[in-house]
């Protein structure tokens, strides 16, 4: 029992002080993604850093079908959901451009060093905190909750 507590102590400490790291690994329709996001505290803000994100395009996908993705953005959102039928409230939203062209002949791209500075109160008040790739009327949500 003591051994398990010793092993978990650093992990629990890193979570309790606001720092965290989460894998981004999955797909949504025509776009697959793999990477990692890290969070640290700077004053009244959380800083979320995507050090590396690999995007792979599938032009044959049936869901979110498109023949190309040109210069999409990575969107960060913190959303409050009342659950009583009222619309969601966006507490924070920001986008970082991704300079890339994905199509049937150029199916993969790696982007690096994407950063979002987010007020801590927005994250702490939110019911959902997450990322999505957006572009040309389509959105590819990355299914990882970044609230902590």
Q: Is the pLDDT of residue 3 over 90?
A: no
How far is C-alpha 48 from the chain's CA centre? 9
Strand partners, 131: 76, 142
Going along the chain from its start, the domains and CATH numbers come out as: 19-142 (2.60.40)
Number of residues in the chain: 148
Three-state secondary structure call for residue 51: strand
Environment class of 123 (CB within 10 Å of its CB; exposed 0-12, middle 13-18, buried 19+): buried
5 DSSP 8-state letter: H
Q: Is the pLDDT of residue 126 over 80?
A: yes
Closest CA to 56 of 137, 112, 110: 110
pLDDT > 90 fraction of the chain, expressed in percent and rounded: 82
Tokens of residue 45, six digits: 């803000």
pLDDT band at 16 (very low <50, low <70, confident <90, very high): low
pLDDT of residue 86: 85
Residues 67-119 pLDDT 10s: 999 999 999 999 999 888 888 999 999 999 999 999 999 999 999 999 999 99
Q: Which residues contact 30 (CB under 8 A, 6 or more apart)?
A: 57, 58, 59, 61, 63, 64, 65, 66, 69, 140
Residues 44-71 pLDDT 10s: 999 999 999 999 999 999 999 999 999 9
pLDDT band at 4 (very low <50, low <70, confident <90, very high): very low
């Amino acid at each position: 029992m003591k051994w398990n507590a010793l092993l978990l102590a650093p992990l629990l400490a890193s979570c309790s002080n606001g720092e965290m790291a989460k894998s981004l690994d999955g797909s949504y329709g025509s776009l697959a993604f793999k990477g990692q996001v890290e969070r640290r505290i700077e004053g009244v803000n959380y800083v979320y850093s995507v050090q590396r994100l690999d995007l792979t395009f599938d032009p044959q996908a049936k869901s979110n079908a498109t023949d190309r993705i040109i210069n999409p953005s990575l969107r960060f959102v913190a959303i409050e959901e009342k659950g009583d039928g009222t619309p969601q409230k966006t507490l924070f939203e920001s986008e970082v451009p991704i300079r890339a062209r994905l199509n049937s002949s150029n199916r993969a791209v790696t982007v690096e060093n994407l950063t979002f500075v987010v007020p801590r109160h927005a994250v702490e008040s939110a019911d959902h905190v997450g990322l999505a790739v957006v572009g040309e009327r389509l959105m590819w949500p990355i299914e990882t909750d970044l609230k902590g």
